[in-house]
Every structure is written in C-alpha cells, then in structure tokens.
Amino acid sequence: MTRTGDSGVSITTRIDAATAGLRMRRLRQSDWSRRLVRETNLTADDLIWPIFVREGGGAPEPVPSMPEVFRLSVEGCVEAARRARDLGIPVVALFPYTDADKRDERGSEAFNEGNLVCRASRAIKAAVPEVGILCDVALDPYTSHGHDGIMEGDRILNDETVEALCRQAVVQAEAGCDIIGPSDMMDGRVACIRQALDEVGHRDTLIMSYAAKYASAFYGPFRDAVGSGGMLKGDKRTYQMDYGNSDEAVREAAQDIAEGADMIMVKPGMPYLDIVSRLSREFGVPTFAYQTSGEYAMIMAAAGNGWLDGERAMIESLTAFKRAGASGILSYFSPTIAARMPRR
C-alpha cells in the first residue's frame, strides 16, 4: 500500500511518472544480478606486485611504516616470484634497499652489474622465467642525497642524469629485466633509453614510463623501505610534477609516447584518478596506476585501528583504478587480493 497525497495521486504513480517507469534498483536487489551487470571487474591479471630486495639472507625484514610488507633477500624475491606465478600475477617490480656504504653522489651502484636488482632479476629469470620483471630506472635508491638524478650544488642536472639512466637501463636489461620503468621525470629520457637499449640488442625490452609522476606526500613509506628517506636533501619539485596540474600530465604523456614508451604510468594513484582517466582516454595506450606506499599505509593503518573494513577498502580502491581506465595497478596488496580474485 502506498500513500496518496493531497492531490489524490499515489507516491508510486508519481515515481513512475518521474522515472518513466525505470526502476534502477531492480538490478541491485540480488548478489547475482549485481555481478551480472558489473561494468568493471578486477582480476589477478591486472596486478603488478612491487617487492623490496635487500642484501643478505635470512627471514624477511618488516618495513615498519608498511604493515605486512617486507624487504626480501634475493632468494626471498625468487620465492615471491613463484608465489606471483601461482597466484596469476603477471609481473613483479623490483626496488632495492641500498646500504649507505654503497651510495654516492652520482649513484654509481646503479651501473653495477652485480647490484641487488640485477642479481634478483637473474635469479628470478632462472627460476621463474614466465613471470615478468619491471625494474625502476632512477638514481634515488643509489645516491647519497636521495635525489633521482645527479646534482651540481642544489640543481638536478637533466642531461647528465639521462646519460646515467641509459647506463642503468642497459645493465638491468642485460640482467633479464623485461620492462624498464623510468621514474625520474627527466626531459628526454625515454628516447635516449630506447636508443640505448636498441643499440645493444634489447629491442624487445618494454618501457613503461612514469609519465605523470607528481611531487607528492604519499611516498614517505616507500623512501623508508629503500633507505632513502632520511637522506633526501630538499624536495623533488624541480622535476616531479605539481599536484595542481592536469594539462601538464597530458603533455608529459604525449612526449613519452612520442619518444617510444610502450606503456605509461600515473603516480600516485587514488588522488589522481582524474589523470588516469584523462590519459587513458586521450591516448588509448596501456595506462597504469601506482597505488603508492602512502595510500597502502593509510588503508592498513585505518584497518588496523578498526576504523574501516580493510579487505573491502582494498578491493574497492583497486577496482576504482580499473573503473577510471587503468590497464593495471602496481599495488602492495597484489598477493593478498590475487588470492581472492578470479583469473581471466
């Protein structure tokens, strides 16, 4: 029974007139119907798992600001890659924790064929060749000042840094890296890296450029994880993007694509869903989002305090990236969510 107003017309009649008889809630009334018409679905195939590698053996070493994330030995990285394979995660991304005694002002350890990333890449490729490897190209894990490039006084030198990044990319490709990920935000680096790779026979090595990487407060736990947080002098605003800009992201992505990037990335992720959506629509190339350490830590901290349902927040946040147009997501939640998600 529906009430009748002063006009003598029932509420149901009024609603039917207003909606032309379309009742949107019909499709939401059952779990099966919601699943049947869901527009965006997340699977393990959409995930890239970032892992941190450290020197030595033994048990995984917790990262205090990132609950349930660990620094792994090289053998631990191999085990993680096996787990990724078994869960259906296509790619792992390697990030090194570099001891202070291996850092210098020019990031020379980045060019060492026996550095952590190279050793882990070789070990993974030998044991789990079917899993892809993404290697970050930037100098900040290796510099004593914590910046992504070579410094002269307070300035980050663009061209000298790009030359160094080319050397780093070649060393990583030689070690078995499948995807080179320039995260430095130097001008012209994609074209130079592409040429450097091609010249030594790595024409099939992919480039996923951090095309729109913003100077953000969401990187803090990551910097702790790789040991560069306390070393950073100043900030990165002269090369990473201003968080108030959107058109600039389009120009940056267009430039990277023109220079030879096979895929592009937006970092951070959740606060920049508008950028993810805009770039994926604008260019139609594979566009990825990085759910940063800060985004991860916030969800984990809130869940740990009982302020939200951590599992639901995890799934909702990653699905939001897909809904915005991301081809895939780099996330520290990858192994947890892959264990719960169907594969394509």
Give CA–CA dist 40/90, Å, rounded. Answer: 19
Which candidate, 142, 212, 222, 128, places its Cα nearest to that of 178? Answer: 128
Q: Is 267 noted as a catalytic residue in this protein? A: yes
Q: Which of 125, 236, 267, 322 is catalytic?
A: 267
Count Cβ atoms within 10 A of the Cβ of residue 114 and give its class: 0-12 exposed, 13-18 middle, 19 or more buried: exposed
Rounded to whole angstroms, what are the CA distances from 51 to 41, 178, 205?
Answer: 25, 16, 20
Strand partners, 133: 92
Tell me how far CA of residue 160 lies from CA of 147, 152, 157, 189, 305, in angstroms: 14, 10, 6, 11, 46
Tokens of 234: 């100043």
Amino acid at 57: G
* 92 half-sphere exposure, CB direction, 13 A CA radius: 31
Decide if 102 is catalytic: no
Catalytic residue among 125, 213, 236, 322: 213
- Give the other-Cβ count within 10 Å of 157's Cβ: 15
Which residues carry out catalysis? 213, 267
